[in-house]
Amino acid sequence: MKELQIKAAELLENGTVNLLIGFCEDLGKRLVPCFIETAAEANILVFNQECKNNLSVYLHKKEVKDAVKIGLVANVATLRSVLQLLSENQLWSLTLTYLTVNGAGELVVLRSAEELEAYVQANFPTCRPEDQEMLDKLNAMSREERWAFWKDQLSECVKCYACRAVCPMCYCTVCTTECNQPQWIKTSAQTSGNFEYHTMRAMHLAGRCINCGECGRICPAGIPVHLLTAQMNQEMEQEFGGKTGWSLKGGYAMNTFKPGDKENFIK
């Protein structure tokens, strides 16, 4: 992607960006995250539909934050994550520049949070068809069938926490799973503890997950954990309105009170 490489080199050369996070090709021809600090390295950058990683997760990393002026090569799901993180006030110490490619194949450079918001709203992604198909299938099941499905799936979980690690919204410095007074969630990978972990995570992400699907895609055990948070999100949208990763103002349903909120659950 010549245009991308040239622009990236320019941003690094003129000091707009100290560290650029993008994609490059590895020995196995996979597209993997790369971190470049000089214009000379920009010629390794690649960007296409196969670039699935949500690179905004790296914005929490100390070694990245130290660079302050960050460039991010991002697909629209990643840009939506950044918008959600900005609305949660997580990126205040960084100056961000975004590079993306629109539907017409043109390079787009976004230099401010406002430009980011406008772009995301204009190109807002919908639920992937294969995920919607799976959600419909699960919702059509009886409770017992659904329980059996997830019990089967979650028995494979090895508690590697890769799902938590790749999620840009999982940025707590001490996770609930790391608390042992009390031991909220068992550390061992037994099915009941696995259920506890994944349902806890879905709850913590309700109304925050932007459905990039990374958690499910990268799960080493092949468990489609992204469906749990996708389902939570659809329910949140139905109950409270609003869309995650839509606006800088956010308004995360689980910690926002509005006088018009339904209270029919209080009996």
Partner 1 sequence: MDTNQYIPYQVRIADIIDEAPLVRTYKLEFTDPSANFTFKAGQFAEYGVFGEGESTFCIASSPTREGYIECTFRSSGRVTKALSNCEINDIIGLRGPFGKPFPIEEWYGKDIVFITGGIGLPPLRCVIWNVLDQREKFGKVSIYYGARTVADLVYKEELENWKNRPDVDLFLTVDPGGETKDWKDNVGFVPTIIEQNLPSSKNAIAIVAGPPILIKMSMPILAKCGFANDKIFTTLENRMKCGVGKCGHCTVGKTYVCKDGPVFTYEEVLQMPQEY
Partner 2 sequence: MELKLISSSDIAVFVDGLLKAGKVVVAPVLKQSGKVFFKPVQSFAEVATDYIQTAFSAKEVVFPKVEELFTYQHNEEGGLDIKDHLDRIPETVVWGLRPCDAAGFDYLNKFFLQENPDAYFKARYDKTTLVTMSCNKCDASCFCTSVDSHPGDTKGSDILLTAMDDKFYVEVMTEKGNILINSNSALFTSTDTLSKEAFLAKPLTHFSMDEIKDKIQNAYASVEWKQASMGCFSCGACAFACPTCTCFDIQDEGTQDHGKRVRCWDACGLSQFTKHSSGHNPRNTQTERRRQRLMHKFKYSVENLGVVSCVGCGRCIRVCPSHLNIFENIQSVTK
Nearer to partner 2, 112 or 183 (CB): 183
Q: What minimum distance in Å lies between the beta carbon of 158 and partner 1? A: 17
**Residue 181 touching partner 1 (CB under 8 A):** yes
**Cα 24 from Cα 41, distance rounded (Å):** 11
For tokens 């190109």, what's the residue?
123
181 binds, among partner 2, partner 1, none (CB under 5 to 8 A by kind): partner 1
Q: What minimum distance in Å lies between the beta carbon of 198 and partner 2? A: 15
User: Contact region for partner 1 (CB under 8 A) — 41-49, 106-114, 175-183, 259-267?
Assistant: 175-183
**Residue 183 touching partner 1 (CB under 8 A):** yes
Cα separations in angstroms, 20 against 37, 41, 70, 159, 225:
6, 10, 6, 31, 30
Q: What minimum distance in Å lies between the beta carbon of 3 and partner 2? A: 25
- Comparing C-alpha atoms, which of 84, 13, 64 is closest to residue 250? 84
What DSSP state is assigned to residue 141?
Answer: S
Q: What minimum distance in Å lies between the beta carbon of 136 and partner 2? A: 17
Q: What minimum distance in Å lies between the beta carbon of 181 and partner 1? A: 5
What DSSP state is assigned to residue 185?
Answer: S
Of the CA atoms within 13 Å of residue 165, those in its CB half-sphere come to 8
Burial class from Cβ neighbours inside 10 Å (0-12, 13-18, 19+) for residue 90 reads: middle
126, 142, 180, 238: which one contacts partner 1 (CB under 8 A)? 180
63 binds, among partner 1, partner 2, none (CB under 5 to 8 A by kind): partner 2
Query: How long is the chain?
Result: 267
- What angle (nearest 5°) sits at the alpha carbon of residue 216, between those of residues 211 and 221? 170
Q: What minimum distance in Å lies between the beta carbon of 119 and partner 1? A: 45
Nearer to partner 2, 81 or 236 (CB): 81
**Residue 188 touching partner 1 (CB under 8 A):** no
264 binds, among partner 2, partner 1, none (CB under 5 to 8 A by kind): none
Q: Give phi and psi for 239, each to the nearest 5.
A: -80, -40
190 binds, among partner 1, partner 2, none (CB under 5 to 8 A by kind): partner 2
Nearer to partner 2, 35 or 240 (CB): 35
Nearer to partner 2, 112 or 192 (CB): 192
**31-36 and 19-25 as β-strands: parallel, antiparallel, unpaired?**
antiparallel
Give me the sign of the Cα torsion angle 71, 29, 62, 15: negative
- Residues engaged in binding partner 1 (CB under 8 A): 180-181, 183
